[in-house]
Amino acid sequence: MASFKPIAIFLLVGLMLGASKAQLSPTFYAKSCPNVFKIVRAVVQKALATDARAGARLIRLHFHDCFVDGCDGSVLLVNQSGIVSELGARGNDNITGFNIVDNIKAALEKACPGVVSCADILAIASVESVYLSGGPFWKVQLGRRDSRTANLQGAMDGLPSPFENVSQLKDKFRRVGLDSTDLVALSGAHTFGRSRCQFFDRRLNVSNPDNTLDASYAAQLRRACARGRDTFVNLDPTTPDAFDKNYFTNLQSNFGLLGSDQVLFSTPGSDTVGIVNTFARSQQQFFNSFGQSMINMGNIKPLTGNKGEIRSNCRRLN
């Protein structure tokens, strides 16, 4: 990990975000599990000490959870009686981080048994992962409950793909109530983490090169991917393990790894181009927008009150 001290940026946001969303609160566990953030941070910090990809793994789980029937922990469910797991969807290929979630859940069950949902664990783990990697800290809305269902078809249809163009990406974000600013800001999570070559190597075709990919960078990627399509490559070639604005300056230089990243800047006339430029100029603006967009995403169709359950094992129904 980078040896800098992260600067916390606390984002003040309104809580009245619709009837169901208003039931979420950043102080939901103030009495029932007051050390929830401290406990989650300790586990995430330990994971990052031995795995620089841990933060990216966790935030990807939260993202893929929220885009399928809302933020309800359904992405964590494995195949079992009455459940066909969402993990069979192409968009969830090679998704990882479950062991870290299990460790967080075990620590919370020891301190506050039966209190903190798996859906909320993903939300808290995401902010801690970003903060510990040098990014912002936002006020996470809490109080979600875990679903008793999974939606494989929803995951197959709803998860954004690294092969999609701007219009397709906007459509999938629009379906869950998110806009172009959310699309660009949340894509900025690709400022850390890795991707397998199979998700971008079609851009490396020598006979038909992608003209939105810098030629020298393409040559570098061909060498890396010569080892096989399952080879991992840094999403951000400049500061691969730090959460910063370099993702956006990379796009301006045609150094976006995934096609779905580069199209945000290289699609003429798209409103995403101006947003990329804004975030490339100002890390503060990116951090502020990222935190707000994470809150927006976290408010997609939460289960609250008596709906759902609080799973004791995040991978299985009670």
210 is in an annotated binding site: no
68 is in an annotated binding site: yes
Q: Annotated catalytic residue: which of 53, 64, 105, 145?
A: 64
179 is in an annotated binding site: no
Query: Alpha-carbon distance 104 to 208, whole Å?
Result: 46
Closest by alpha carbon to 240, among 289, 293, 195, 285?
A: 195
What is the residue type of 213? L
CA of 52: how far to CAs of 117, 174, 309, in Å? 25, 32, 32
309 is in an annotated binding site: no
Q: Is 64 a catalytic residue?
A: yes
69 is in an annotated binding site: no
Show Cβ contacts of residue 93 under 8 Å, excluding neighbours closer than 6 positions.
Answer: none
241 is in an annotated binding site: no
160 is in an annotated binding site: yes
74 is in an annotated binding site: yes
Secondary structure in 3-state letters for 57-94: HHHHHHHHHHCCCCCCCHHHCCCECCECCHHHCHHHCC
Q: Do the beta carbons of residue 236 and residue 134 sit within 8 Å?
A: no
Strands 194-196 and 232-234: antiparallel
Residue ranges for the binding site? 65, 68, 70, 72, 74, 86, 160, 190-191, 236, 239, 244
Question: Which are the catalytic amino acids?
Answer: 64
Residue ranges for the binding site for heme b? 190
Residue ranges for the binding site for substrate? 160
